[in-house]
């Protein structure tokens, strides 16, 4: 019998990143998936990145993950969002060809050293003395392992709703994992239900694009992987396809409103909570009844451009109603549906039952990652997957766990939010969730994480050397710009006055000019003394580093002041009922969350500074600190 170090259950984004990370760390890894052809499947919108999400994706890439490289290989349209705003909230977004993306993911998964793939369904996880020791598959065979990572997505007892039709499925066309969900429920895990959905797909040829607003890729073409963005490697080339913007109308809303009793969202069939920031069209019409229209993005799904994804029109209404309201939207008057939209309810585990490593608190060597922890989105899933894979591999090798902290990564913010606060709706990442977002930009994730990834072994030597070369180029360019001056009596000063309103009272270095928000690195290139450089590709990073240096230094100081207190560990066996002065509500919340540190305790909803102070006093009194 084969015995593995790590078994990963599920071949979605969380499963792919978990299995690949585990294998990169040298662990003998088995990925079990219902369908090999479903590995890397983009079951909803085939796009990677966006506000908050590209920050997560690029952190996965900084740890040598798969997502960004696959997105660049499969790019149909690439844009930088919030380009007119500060660097902290800018984001890269790539619309991908779902077929090419899946092909790129499968190539890496199916051909990687230490990684075996098995097509099967997992019925249960084998436990012995509260420790996971393998899985039982549908044939009844028992496969042993030192650690198990569960990434079942929306497959745990998934139920699809479309009007009056309701049927069991993990996504349209795929079986739900009913037995596994029942197994965990019977094993005493805290399982709840959530809901998500997808819009109908539309035949491209049936759309009148002449009436719509066109949205091309940016130039130069943005890319997500740092290998392509800064190091000069070129991904495979696919002809770019534009997206288009249209809007719903009052007539659209009237049809949806009149069909309210046919919607599972309103007739009582769906009782679960869906994503607040990506609601269905019927939910939007109901909640925002004062709006006369809602924006819809028409986005290509593949390079052959046969189907369009109408982003913003997720629905669970009957097919005939979907057809009716779609044809009231500009450009879609004669549209044909190729696949109907639907809602899906699925089970998830309360993430407060997890450690920061994503190992479960009550079962040793069992890890959860992805939508089964109450999140939504490919990027959130991939971020959890890579951390679960890293920690499962390290656990199997007898090493301590590693998770980046919230002050140094969005991954840290994501995991800390999940395990301390839990979820009441599908969790989505936003830049506003990070307290230190000036230092957590989407353009510097490798600066923050790649060295750490190399030190723990998940980042390879070649990737690390490329990273070191990039750091050298950034530092070299900063030094060079600091030496070049704009003199008071010069044509360059006159240019700065006329074009940017800058009046210098003394000679200034090019580097100091970048501290002003009006001047970009590309503007410096137009000045007479700029000279020749091979570092132009990292110029925007040089500009951001210089511009935000003062703010980042201030944040660094705040972080250092908090670290000593917040990094204090809380023993697992602390009984919060023994801490005098804590309210019953605080005791209940703390016992549910079981925070690992003072910092985590402080971020639990309903735990105030007084409660944190009482915990500290208790720990000090008992000589823990």
CB-CB contact of 448 with 17 (8 Å): no
What is the reported pLDDT for 323? 97
- What is the per-residue pLDDT across 440-459, written as a single tens digit (0 to 9) for each? 999 999 999 999 999 999 99
pLDDT at 231 over 70: no
Q: What is the mean pLDDT of residues 486-490?
A: 90
CB-CB contact of 168 with 159 (8 Å): yes
Measured between alpha carbons, how far is 622 from 377 in angstroms, rounded to an integer? 43
- CB-CB neighbours of 555 under 10 Å: 18
Measured between alpha carbons, how far is 399 from 328 in angstroms, rounded to an integer? 59
At residue 245, what are phi and psi to the nearest 5 degrees?
-115, 135
CB-CB contact of 266 with 260 (8 Å): yes
Measured between alpha carbons, how far is 351 from 600 in angstroms, rounded to an integer? 14
CB-CB contact of 311 with 201 (8 Å): no
CB-CB contact of 448 with 408 (8 Å): yes
Q: 613 in helix, strand or coil?
A: helix
Whether the CA torsion 358, 363, 368, 371 is positive or negative: it is negative
Q: 15 in helix, strand or coil?
A: helix
pLDDT at 78 over 90: yes
pLDDT at 44 over 80: yes
Give residue 40's region: left, alpha or beta (phi > 0; psi -120 to 50): left
Give residue 242's region: left, alpha or beta (phi > 0; psi -120 to 50): beta
What is the reported pLDDT for 1? 59
pLDDT at 173 over 70: no
124 exposed, middle or buried (CB, 10 Å; 0-12, 13-18, 19+)?
Answer: middle
What is the reported pLDDT for 359? 98
- Write the DSSP string, 119-157: E--EEEEEESSSBEEEEEETTS-EEEEEEEEE--TT-BT
* Geometric angle at alpha carbon 516, from 515 and 517, rounded to 5°: 115
Which of 263-267, 273-277, 357-361, 572-576 has maximum average pLDDT? 357-361
Lowest mean pLDDT among 224-233, 320-329, 479-488: 224-233
Whether the CA torsion 198, 200, 203, 208 is positive or negative: it is negative
510 CA to centre of own chain: 36
In 340-415, the DSSP E strands lie at 342-349, 366-368
pLDDT at 110 over 60: yes
575 exposed, middle or buried (CB, 10 Å; 0-12, 13-18, 19+)?
Answer: exposed
Bridge partners of residue 104, in order along the sequence: none
Indicate the domain borders of the chain.
202-342, 470-552, 567-621
78-84 contacts, C-beta under 8 A, 24 or more apart: 78/217, 78/218, 78/221, 78/222, 78/223, 78/240, 79/215, 79/217, 79/218, 79/222, 80/218, 80/222, 81/50, 81/51, 82/51, 83/218
Which CATH class, in words, describes the domain spanning 202-342? mainly beta
C-alpha closest to that of 24 among 115, 143, 138, 148: 115
pLDDT at 496 over 70: yes
Measured between alpha carbons, how far is 120 from 106 in angstroms, rounded to an integer? 17
pLDDT above 70 as % of the chain: 97
CB-CB contact of 516 with 557 (8 Å): no
Measured between alpha carbons, how far is 402 from 196 in angstroms, rounded to an integer? 31
Q: 625 in helix, strand or coil?
A: coil
What is the reported pLDDT for 220? 84
* Geometric angle at alpha carbon 42, from 9 and 418, rounded to 5°: 60
Measured between alpha carbons, how far is 591 from 266 in angstroms, rounded to an integer? 35
What is the reported pLDDT for 225? 94
Find the distance separating the first CA and the last CA of the chain, reported in whole Å: 47
Q: Which fold has domain 470-552?
A: Arc Repressor Mutant, subunit A (1.10.10)
Measured between alpha carbons, how far is 254 from 312 in angstroms, rounded to an integer? 17
CB-CB contact of 271 with 180 (8 Å): no
Q: How many residues does the chain have?
A: 625
Q: What's the mean per-residue pLDDT of the chain?
A: 91
Q: What is the mean pLDDT of residues 234-258?
A: 90
Confidence of residue 501 (pLDDT cuts 50, 70, 90): confident
Lowest mean pLDDT among 553-567, 583-597, 599-613: 553-567
**What radius of gyration do the chain's Cα atoms show?**
26
CA atoms within 13 A on the CB side of 72: 24
CB-CB contact of 236 with 99 (8 Å): no
pLDDT at 234 over 90: no
550: Cβ contacts below 8 Å, ≥ 6 apart: none
Which CATH class, in words, describes the domain spanning 567-621? mainly alpha
Q: What is the mean pLDDT of residues 185-192?
A: 84
DSSP label at 259? T
201: Cβ contacts below 8 Å, ≥ 6 apart: 301, 307, 308, 309, 310, 337, 338, 339
Lowest mean pLDDT among 15-24, 95-104, 394-403, 608-617: 608-617
Q: Is the model more confident about 313 or about 516?
A: 313
In the sheet that holds 191-198, the strands lie side by side as 165-168, 159-162, 342-349, 191-198
Measured between alpha carbons, how far is 92 from 363 in angstroms, rounded to an integer? 38
């Amino acid at each position: 019998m084969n015995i593995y170090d790590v078994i990963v259950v599920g071949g979605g984004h969380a499963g792919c990143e978990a299995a690949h990370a585990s294998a990169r760390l040298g662990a003998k890894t088995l990925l079990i998936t219902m369908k090999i052809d479903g590995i890397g499947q983009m079951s909803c919108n085939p796009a990677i990145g966006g506000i908050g999400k590209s920050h997560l994706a690029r952190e996965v890439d900084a740890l040598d993950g798969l997502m960004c490289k696959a997105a660049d290989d499969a790019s149909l349209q690439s844009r930088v969002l919030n380009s007119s705003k500060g660097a902290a909230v800018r984001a890269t977004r790539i619309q991908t060809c779902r077929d090419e993306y899946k092909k790129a993911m499968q190539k890496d998964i199916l051909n990687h050293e230490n990684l075996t793939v098995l097509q099967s369904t997992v019925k249960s996880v084998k436990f012995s003395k509260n420790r996971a020791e393998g899985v039982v598959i549908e044939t009844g065979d028992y496969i042993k392992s030192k650690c198990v990572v569960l990434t079942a997505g929306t497959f745990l007892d998934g139920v699809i709703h479309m009007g009056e039709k309701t049927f069991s499925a993990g996504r349209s066309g795929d079986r739900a994992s009913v037995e596994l969900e029942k197994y965990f429920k019977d094993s005493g895990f805290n399982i709840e239900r959530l809901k998500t959905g997808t819009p109908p797909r539309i035949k491209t040829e049936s759309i009148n694009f002449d009436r719509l607003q066109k949205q091309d890729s940016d130039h130069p073409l943005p890319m997500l992987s740092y290998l392509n963005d800064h190091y000069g490697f070129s991904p495979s080339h696919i002809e770019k396809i534009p997206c288009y913007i249209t809007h719903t109308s009052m007539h659209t809303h009237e049809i949806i409103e009149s069909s309210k009793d046919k919607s599972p969202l309103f007739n009582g069939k769906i009782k679960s909570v869906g994503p607040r920031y990506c609601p269905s069209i019927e939910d939007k019409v109901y909640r925002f009844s004062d709006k006369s229209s809602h924006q819809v993005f028409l986005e290509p799904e593949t390079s052959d451009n046969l189907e369009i994804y109408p982003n913003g029109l997720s629905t669970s209404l009957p097919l005939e109603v979907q057809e009716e309201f779609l044809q009231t939207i500009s450009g879609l008057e004669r549209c044909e549906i190729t696949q109907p939209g639907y809602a899906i309810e699925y089970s998830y585990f309360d993430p407060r039952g997890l450690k920061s490593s994503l190992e479960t608190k009550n079962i040793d060597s069992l890890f959860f990652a992805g939508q089964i922890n109450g999140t939504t989105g490919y990027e959130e899933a991939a971020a959890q997957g890579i951390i679960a894979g890293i920690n499962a591999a390290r656990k199997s090798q007898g090493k301590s766990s590693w998770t980046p902290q919230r002050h140094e990564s969005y991954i840290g913010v994501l995991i800390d939010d999940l395990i301390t606060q839990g979820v009441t709706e599908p969790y989505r990442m936003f830049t506003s969730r990070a307290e230190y977002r000036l230092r957590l930009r989407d353009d510097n994730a490798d600066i923050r994480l790649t060295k750490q990834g190399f030190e723990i072994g998940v980042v390879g030597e070649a990737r690390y050397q490329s990273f070191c070369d990039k750091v050298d180029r950034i530092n070299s360019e900063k030094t060079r710009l600091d030496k070049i001056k704009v003199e008071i009596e010069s044509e360059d000063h006159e240019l700065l006055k006329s074009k940017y309103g800058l009046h210098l009272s003394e000679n200034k270095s090019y580097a100091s000019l970048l501290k002003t928000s009006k001047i970009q690195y590309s503007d410096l290139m137009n000045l007479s003394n700029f000279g020749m450089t091979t570092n132009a590709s990292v110029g925007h990073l040089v500009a951001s580093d210089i511009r935000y240096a003062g703010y980042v230094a201030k944040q660094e100081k705040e972080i250092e002041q908090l670290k000593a207190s917040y990094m204090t560990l809380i023993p697992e066996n602390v009984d919060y009922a023994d801490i005098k002065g804590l309210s019953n509500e605080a005791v209940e919340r703390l016992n549910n969350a079981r925070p690992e540190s003072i910092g985590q305790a402080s971020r639990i909803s309903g735990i105030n500074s007084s409660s944190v102070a009482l915990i500290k006093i208790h720990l000090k009194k008992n000589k823990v600190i």
